Chains A and B, each alone.
Chain A
Amino acid sequence: MIKDVRYNLNCKIAATAVMTLENPDIDIDEAVERLKAAGNEIISVDGRKVTVLNTETHPSEEVWACEHCGAYSTDYDTVLRHEAEQHGIQNS
């Protein structure tokens, strides 16, 4: 039954981006100012490491899949109709 093969991974993606100052000729305070001037949002500074992104974002959309051929849609009824029309599967 299609309702038993719900391939909704409900995934949540989060990203963290940390810049490490590799240039020994500038100090971290100056480097941070440069990053700010370039438009970066500084989250935190730890030694020569500067966190510029730390976010959690919303879940991905749900996907329903045809258990016969794997065709998928975010719309349950679409997959239900596909199974009936393409494979003769009658879901109760």
Chain B
Amino acid sequence: MASKIVNRGLQVIGGRASNTADAFAAIQSLAADDGTVAFAAAHTAINSGGAVTNQADVDFDATPTRAGQVITHVATFPTGSANFTIRRLSLHNAAAASVSASSTTLVSGIDGQSLTKTSDFSLEVTITITYADAS
């Protein structure tokens, strides 16, 4: 299991914070997929490391919150969504409707999971990112 903010995600975060001309969209959705490849720094999309069979995307339930240097993102997959063995979770800087396996929207991800969801359940995922100065 590993987590990573990919290089593109670092660009999005830095670009948004410094209001660069890139005009990156905000991080606003969460995806679940069944890919078994670990996220790598150069990845820009869910399928950068190889094709995935199943994938589901949802917008955040509410605007992410901040406490200190910790940003909390919460999203809920309804009963009819993400009903497969979830191997990876990822954050994206596009609305869920615009996120696909190949969309260049990947910001960060956690891999190496094994969560089997069924239609009996909804699934609320909380992803926190803690920022720390390492200088």
Q: Which residue numbers of A lie inside 8 Å of B, CB to CB? A: 6-23, 26, 31, 34-35, 38-41, 50, 52-53, 55, 57-63, 65, 70, 72, 74
Partner of B131, one of A9, A20, A62: A9
- Asked whether A11 lies within 8 Å of B5 as measured between CB atoms, the reply is yes
Residues of B within 8 A of A13 (CB): 3-5, 108, 110, 127-130
On whether the beta carbons of B5 and A9 are closer than 8 Å, the reply is yes
Chain A residues within an 8 Å CB radius of B7: 63, 72
Write the B112-135 contact mask toward A (1 if CB under 8 angstroms, else 0): 011111111111111111111111
Point out the residues of chain A lying under 8 angstroms from B129, CB to CB.
11-13
Q: Is the CB of B85 within 8 A of A39?
A: yes
Alpha-carbon distance between A27 and B10 when the two chains are bound, in angstroms: 44
Number of interface residues of B (CB under 8 A): 40
Q: Contact: A10 with B132, CB < 8 Å?
A: yes
Residues of B within 8 A of A (CB): 1-5, 7, 10-11, 13-14, 41, 79, 85-86, 89, 108, 110, 113-135
Task: Give, as a whole number of angstroms, the nearest-CB distance from B119 to chain A.
Answer: 8
Query: How many contacts between A and B, using CB within 8 angstroms?
Result: 122
Among residues of A, the one whose C-beta sits closest to the C-beta of B2 is A57
Find out whether the CB atom of B10 lies under 8 angstroms from the CB atom of A7. yes
Closest to B133 in A: A10
> Is A18 within 8 A of B123, CB to CB?
yes
Interface centre among B108, B120, B128, B132 (most CB of A within 10 A): B120
A41–B132 Cα gap in the complex (Å)? 30
- On whether the beta carbons of B113 and A60 are closer than 8 Å, the reply is no
15 contacting pairs across A/B (C-beta < 8 A): A13-B108, A14-B130, A15-B89, A18-B125, A20-B122, A22-B79, A23-B119, A26-B120, A35-B116, A40-B115, A50-B121, A53-B113, A60-B5, A65-B14, A70-B11
